[in-house]
Structure 1
């Protein structure tokens, strides 16, 4: 008898690439075929690694000038009106970065989000959720908090991207961000400013609504004394240095290279629903945050389009950072199953951290929130699902706001406990035979946590709460609007404690597998 292992094949523009999820061996994934909403979101992620002050993105009409070659680049022109979102994610990599030593005080840039009202009447904007974080407030530690852990009322902070995504997932707003602001006619408002330390990260996610048309810009300034200094950066029309993809425009257009996103994407929520009978159809596998490269053989690509973009931006929102995913699984079956999240093993690519973020799982028993730290090639159990049988439907909703610094292309599965146990035991055995690779540890489902109360205590604020004031725009610049200013859980160890019951199941699964192999050899 020949044992067949199925490998999901995914397409790449130049040559096909292969990636495999061991949990899917011999099985197929189903497409979700969900939909994005049409809310426009400003994405300021290109360049991700900023090298100095300047404009990062603006949606005003016109052009700005590249620091690298002085070329005039068309802005990502877009006028927002109604519901909108903001995603900002940048690192500061100055040209002297190789000389920075641990413990030294680092220089900083100040990032500011500017709201622009080019019209003749005031525009009111309200915010219902959002957060701003930098590396001072939410340090990114590469190997911290791996595995699956309860989230708790005050969440784990594993970097600015995860910290802001948690608040968006829970629908809360930073205490330092105004719920409502007014942009006077022909004025510019610095909504927030945050520090970006050298070799550090700053991230922002916001959701708001306006009662009229406006534009937005993100700028970086060196030691600004006031909001007027941030607006002056915008008036200079010079892009911040660090746009490393300007010499790869043809490769971006032909999809041989994926740049970062600098533009306006359509969609800040993705919803999908699927019905599956586990007894009749077998285990369920569906793509979650899938891409052209990693869709697990389904051709289901969960990437939303851009309405406008800078010329060196990716062609679409391939990272889906800040997008909320709500996936409804309507399951039928009997007994315990594992809800599993996986990332593929990619041939020729070293293991890397593929996801660090927070996930909500809602079942008839209640709401469970977990923090997940996942390496490429891993399959981790998010929860145990106890299906009632008798033909009854068992609804499960999986929700997450996709965090920055994660790598899309994840698989969501519902499988018997023995199936997950055999895969993890095999991976442990393979890792043990290779001294250079640490053995991944199996992770037991995290205990259930009650749903948090609305507006849980927020971490330290990352914004400048200075009072509003008005200043005239410099006359030498283009005719311009005026400037207006409007109980922690204990840290767990990186390695997760192994559940003895799960180890027993591993051993039972291995014994069963050995018996089957002996019977096959005797035929």
Structure 2
């Protein structure tokens, strides 16, 4: 559905040209070392398109609720994340003002409840929430841009991940909220407006990293704006949100149900996520083997790659599925957190030049054509990348330059299907040199996995 907005805003049309040729790039594929941590992530992404108000995701106990099956009974305590990504539209557009006045803006509410007998404090370490329009419109950007100040983005998910990667907390969020015993508080109560937009379609992406000193339950909810006596809109109150939580059913329309994991037929429907996933961070030290602390660079003209954000049926020959497992979920939503939206990858590459010659080494992110088992020894790209954008987001790269000075760069990438990508960093390494490169990014919403992290050594001049 979001592709409708992208195509409209970017003026994309399907060109009447021959499809681009496939290019086989010989490169060794490796599974990514490390693993996800066990920090639970509240992941609210189904239904993506919300037209009917209701419960998006509730981890509250079902006791006393009118629709018990809408509540997954999962308590949070300590570190946890909240991710939400939803869109809405006026349907049909010409009937926007014919809907009841209260239905011109859909509000997204995220509520926390303290079931205990003592107050609970929840620290908000990092947090951001943006709309597609006007906060972060989908605009055309170069495939690689320097993004030191965080001003380069296309889409709300892209902007949110960039903020959180930098450790920021948007000014709309307090540093801490306190929830009295037996009470609830709103973490978020913000609109997704469509009135006056062309097309009348909008989305909101949100990510919060939280720490609680007691047990809390969480829910994300969708409710149309309430109406003041003068006819103007207002945001729902805590009491109105609580009533929806207690008496409402799941929001709609429901997304397509996923294909069971054991079914291997084509095509696979992965589904969208609504539940609690296990994992917030994948930390990896990329080395030759567990007994050493270095990563030997490829021989000149050689390439090796590590899989990123792989999922079942798309492991690029590694057999590795990185999708976060679901701790609880609704039966009609994804079996895993496919794409790992909002999950951070922290990758350390202690590069080692074991040759007798100076070498130029590049580290890049690439978006090859999707495969599970590689038909040939290498990855397939397109001579001209397809028009579909499969990755747009900011990557932080830390390394030491040729003078040995530490450098931190933020690089914004836009990669289309089949795009080989450009170097994030280019290092000139003397014989015997060691150089640590650290790559960090949060996998952004609206991206399509998998990607690869590639290390290559340039051919020596003849």
The normalised TM-score by structure 1 is 0.69
1:69-88 alignment runs, 5 A limit: 73-88=69-84
Change beyond 3 A, Cα 1:238–1:94: farther
Q: Residues 135 and 40 of structure 1: is their aligned pair in 2 closer, same or farther, counting only changes over 3 Å?
A: same
**Separation in 1 of the partners of 2:24 and 2:436?**
22
Contact persistence 1:221–1:229 (CA under 8 A): no
8 Å CA contact 1:50–1:94 kept in 2: the answer is no
Inter-partner Cα distance in structure 2 for 1:354 and 1:87: 20
Distance 2:340 2:297 in 1: 30
The answer for the alignment partner of 1:227 in structure 2 is 238
Task: Write the mapping of 1:27-176 to structure 2, written as runs, cut at 5 A.
Answer: 27-62=27-62, 73-97=69-93, 107-141=104-138, 143-176=139-172
Contact 1:64/1:239 (8 A) holds in 2: no
Matched, 1:375 2:371: no
Distance in structure 2 (CA, Å) of the matches to 1:240 and 1:25:
45
Q: Specify every segment of 5 or more residues in structure 2 that has no aligned partner in the other structure, as ranges.
A: 1-19, 195-200, 227-233, 288-294, 372-381, 402-406
Corresponding residue for 1:277? 296
Q: 1:64 to 1:293 in 2, by over 3 A?
A: farther
Compared CA separation, residues 99 and 354, structure 1 to 2 (3 A): farther
Distance 1:379 1:280, change over 3 A: closer
- Alignment CA distance shift 1:119-1:253 (3 Å): farther
**Matched residue of 1:186: which SS?**
coil
Q: Are the equivalent residues in 1 in contact too, given 2:144–2:413 (CA < 8 A)?
A: yes
Partner of 1:261: 273
Runs of 5+ consecutive residues of structure 1 not aligned to the other structure: 1-19, 420-507, 513-523
Per-residue deviation, 1:274: 1.4
Conserved 8 A contact 1:131-1:173: yes
Q: Give the 3-state SS of the residue equivalent to 1:215 in structure 2.
A: strand
**Aligned-partner Cα distance in 2 for 1:98–1:342:** 42
Worse overlay, 316-325 or 132-141:
132-141
Corresponding residue SS for 1:162: helix
Against the structure 1 CA distance between its residues 21 and 298, is the aligned structure 2 distance closer, same or farther, given a 3 Å change threshold?
A: farther
Pair 32,154 (structure 1): closer, same or farther in 2 beyond 3 Å: closer
1:12 corresponds to = none
Distance 2:34 2:272 in 1: 24
Tell me the number of residue pairs that the alignment of Structure 1 and Structure 2 aligns.
392
Q: Is the 8 A contact 2:386 2:416 kept in 1?
A: no
Counterpart Cα distance in 2 of 1:234 and 1:116: 11
Whose radius of gyration is greater, 1 or 2? Answer: 1
Deviations 1:431-474 (A, max 9, x none): xxxxxxxxxxxxxxxxxxxxxxxxxxxxxxxxxxxxxxxxxxxx
What's the secondary structure of 2:422's corresponding residue?
A: strand
2:255 is the alignment partner of 1:236: no
Residue number among 378, 386, 391 corresponding to 1:355 in the alignment: 391
**How many angstroms apart in 2 are the aligned matches of 1:396 and 1:23?**
28
* CA distance in structure 2 between the aligned counterparts of 1:231 and 1:158, rounded to whole angstroms: 34
- Verify the 8 A CA contact 1:356 1:371 in the aligned structure 2: yes
The 1:64–1:320 alpha-carbon spacing in structure 2 relative to 1, beyond 3 Å, is farther
Give the superposition deviation at 1:387: 3.4
Specify which structure has the higher proportion of strand. 2
Q: Deviations over 1:280-317 (max 9, x none)?
A: 59422111222223322112222111111111111111
Per-residue CA deviations over 1:241-284 (Å, capped at 9, x if unaligned) read 11133xx3665774742111100011100011112322559422
Distance 2:21 2:325 in 1: 27
In the other structure, the counterpart of 2:379 is none
Alignment pair present for 1:326 and 2:346: yes
SS at match of 1:153: coil
Q: CA RMSD in A?
A: 3.0
Cα–Cα, structure 1 residues 301 and 253, in superposed 2: closer, same or farther, change >3 Å? closer
Selected match of 1:344 from 347, 353, 368: 368
Separation in structure 2 between the aligned mates of residue 299 and residue 252 of structure 1, nearest angstrom: 14
Q: Give runs of aligned pairs for residues 388-403 of structure 1, distance below 5 A.
A: 388-403=429-444
For residue 270 of structure 2, give the secondary structure of its aligned residue in structure 1: coil
Q: Give the Å deviation of 1:391.
A: 1.6
**For residues 30 and 317 of structure 1, what CA distance do their matches in structure 2 show?**
22
- Give the conservation status (yes or no) of the 8 Å contact 2:391–2:413: yes
1:200-215 aligned at under 5 Å gives the runs 200-215=202-217
Contact in 1 for aligned 2:297/2:361 (Cα 8 Å):
no
Give SS of 1:82's match.
strand
In 2, distance between residues paired with 1:21 and 1:80?
A: 50
Q: CA deviation at 1:158?
A: 1.3
Correspondence 1:313 to 2:333: yes
**Distance across 2 between alignment mates of 1:52 and 1:253:** 32
Partner SS, residue 49 of structure 1: coil
C-alpha contact (below 8 Å) 2:26/2:303 kept by paired residues? no
Matched with 2:198 is none
Equivalent pair of 2:399/2:437 in contact (CA under 8 Å) = yes
Q: Is contact 1:111–1:219 with CA below 8 Å preserved after alignment? A: yes
Partner of 1:423: none
Whether the 8 Å CA contact 1:110–1:223 is kept in 2: the answer is yes
Q: 1:354 to 1:111 in 2, by over 3 A?
A: same
Partner Cα distance (2:93, 2:274) in 1:
24
Aligned partners of 2:88 and 2:81: how far apart in 1?
23
Return the TM-score normalized by structure 2. Answer: 0.78
Structure 1 residue 338, shift from structure 2 partner = 2.5
Q: Which residue of 2 aligns with 1:185?
A: 181
